[in-house]
Chains A and B, each alone.
Chain A
């Protein structure tokens, strides 16, 4: 009732407080500090990450901060775990607008980091983190803007299809599909044994949108995709083709009924829950899925026995690179005015030793060379292999294109899923959003 006035003023209020505090943000150029100055004076680093829920991820970051403090007693680290959407959509933008952002915080790369760099929010770590960048390799590029490094990933992986091996065996599917024709066959066979062939969390929009991304990846050449990310140019017909292919695929009814209201993860009624509890045979999802499936599975042991992973199938005769994959990661970046110790901590997080420990938590795939031994889970191992084999890794399109185009694109794709969108409208929505 009237009490809910706050809903309307939330936006205005948070923006206001942010701007009141804004004023001036000074900034010197980045320079690598001399070795003697580091760890001389006591500093406190504030660290915002998205492992807000109790679990192995959150516990591990606490340990990392403590270990770093033991290593360098002058550095105290204050951690705040914040739920992803809140962190990315409200808390961080507001804190960055103010003069008091956290020193080190979650960064998703792509279009977002480009905007943050243009607003002069981030510390240039090119010189200080040279060795680490070399050790991470290509994946670090997502956190680069115009050749300079502004953040480092700690998790990176490509997406693929998580599937129930037992159901595949029961349906008589000999090997995981490698082409979409085989995938369609598998869908038919799975329907025959009365299970949901593919679970999709369309309710959360992005899990559905990722199907379109994959059709785009197959329909578009690598150059077209690169150009789209940089210039937000979506004139190529391959983006319409992606929607047409998606529509044809949806028409074969591979998904659970009423998928439009199914959440992606986090509860038993979600797409994750359907796969984890033996109600659906497949789900398209990223490398973090192992951890999220675990949290919704009624019988974790059964899950670990039947769960498998295979790359998104290729489409015969399409111009896209069949070995290209969609992927993404999580990284951290340092605020412009953060102390130099921040970068040292960032480097510590991506060091092979810490990365190995991260891999052992099973919450995602590490990026640093030398950490591979920490990956024990067979499904994660197959993702790691496929990631190394991928000829090109395209960042999630909504991240690559930035939130505004990403959001409009996802909405228009979901409309196709709901039956009232068209392939052309997706491209129109993307173009309109690029002008917003």
Chain B
């Protein structure tokens, strides 16, 4: 185990046993074996494929179909409007605000969570007393339910909330802010809450990656007189690369689709003014609350396409080495 990392076995690890090398004389046996292999594949994948088609592909298809209608969810859709809903979305300044907020969350999460998680993971990877406790603490926020986290921070950050009271108490009254009410601040407040919630996930992922860095390499480096920093910089980090890239990928997709914490922590008025809306909250606000079902579906499709394209680009360029054979064609 020097070059691959188990967390990265996205392709199912399946570099299939080299076929076609068997002696040709037992061709009927080979045919039977091929058949058996196919039965196996079909038998094992059918349930998953059915679920995937029913609950992912079909809804996406329907969403696209409905998005072409001016439809209020009463009676079947009949008023075909082509791509008008898409045009409307990109003309709505609030939707553009939502796109901007999603971008802030995507890049903010990567730039803030990444270094923090890496630092904490490297620290927690050294042996010291109480390491297990600290690992546990770092992971607690991630285990809490999103709604719980949202309500908790909503109370802590409200005007008369704990945070402001605490700041007043220690003489930082001048820095007290309307964390969730100030339209210029609220998205950064939410970015903080999201970071608090999800940094634990990055840490645990990186710790798993670190545990796969062979101890021998560190020892070899130590014998060669490398310092702790040098070891991290030249051995650990490069070997951690695949894990970091996978985390970036998951974080990006999660940030594009983020919904529940925003929905719970930020009140409807602030969302509808664009200050804290994301594509997903905008979709629900317009689809269900304004009863624009066709339009809501158009927003859902836009969100899907953006996430899908982002995922493809990321896989094509950054994850290429890690999942060779799965997406980028057959490895040599």
Could you give, for residues 250-294 of chain B, a 1 whenever the CB lies within 8 Å of some chain A CB and a 0 otherwise? 110110011110000001111011000000100111111111110
- Rounded to whole angstroms, the CA-CA distance of A90 and B267 in the bound complex is 19
Which stretch of A15-23, A123-131, A312-320, A386-394 is in the interface? A15-23
Counting contact residues on chain A (CB < 8 A from B), the size range is 35 or more
CB < 8 Å neighbour of B284 from A11, A116, A260: A11
Chain-B contact segment, one of A339-347, A355-363, A371-379, A408-416: A408-416
Contact B307 A205 (CB under 8 A): no
Residues in chain A near residue B292, CB distance under 8 A? 404, 436
Query: Are B267 and A263 closer than 8 Å at their CB atoms?
Result: yes
Q: Is the interface of A mostly helix, strand, loop or mixed?
A: helix
Question: CA of A338 to CA of B291 in the docked complex: distance in angstroms?
Answer: 25
Q: Are A4 and B258 closer than 8 Å at their CB atoms?
A: yes
A2-B254, A15-B297, A119-B75 as given contacts; A269 in contact with B158, CB under 8 Å: yes
Contacts of B80 in A (CB 8 A): none
Contact A258 B250 (CB under 8 A): no
CB distance from A195 to the nearest CB of B (A): 15
Q: Are A1 and B74 in contact (CB under 8 A)?
A: no
Q: Which residues of B contact A410 (CB under 8 A)?
A: 272
Question: Would you give the shortest CB distance from B83 to chain A, in whole angstroms?
Answer: 15
Q: State how many angstroms separate the Cβ of B188 from the closest Cβ of chain A.
A: 15
Query: Which residue on chain B has the smallest CB distance to residue A411?
Result: B272
**CB-contacts of B152-188 with A (<8 A):** 155, 158-161, 178, 180-183, 186
Name A258's contact: one of B60, B159, B293 (CB within 8 Å): B159
**B307–A8 touching, CB < 8 Å:** yes
Q: How far is the CB of B128 from chain A (nearest CB, A)?
A: 29
Chain A 7-62 residues near chain B, CB threshold 8 A: 7-13, 15-16, 19, 22
Count, A-B residue pairs, CB within 8 A: 164
Given contacts A8-B283, A269-B160, A404-B291, whether A205 and B201 have CB atoms under 8 Å apart is no
- Is A90 within 8 A of B280, CB to CB? no
Query: Are the CB atoms of B76 and A22 closer together than 8 Å?
Result: yes
Shortest Cβ gap from A334 to chain B (Å): 17
Q: Residue B95 at the A interface, CB < 8 A?
A: no
B73-91 interface mask toward A, CB cutoff 8 Å, 1 = contact, 0 = none?
1111000000000001000
Q: Judge whether B303 is part of the interface by a CB distance below 8 angstroms.
A: yes
CA distance in complex: A345, B296 (Å): 36
| Contact yes or no, A8 B303, CB < 8 A | yes
Are A12 and B159 neighbours in the complex by a CB distance under 8 Å?
Answer: no
Question: A258's closest neighbor in chain B, by CB?
Answer: B181
Q: Is B304 an interface residue (CB 8 A)?
A: yes
Closest to B186 in A: A261
A420 nearest in chain B by CB position? B273
Could you list 18 A-B pairs, sorted by A, with CB under 8 Å? A8-B304, A9-B59, A11-B300, A12-B63, A12-B297, A15-B66, A97-B74, A115-B72, A116-B74, A205-B272, A259-B181, A260-B183, A404-B291, A414-B269, A414-B273, A415-B273, A417-B269, A418-B183
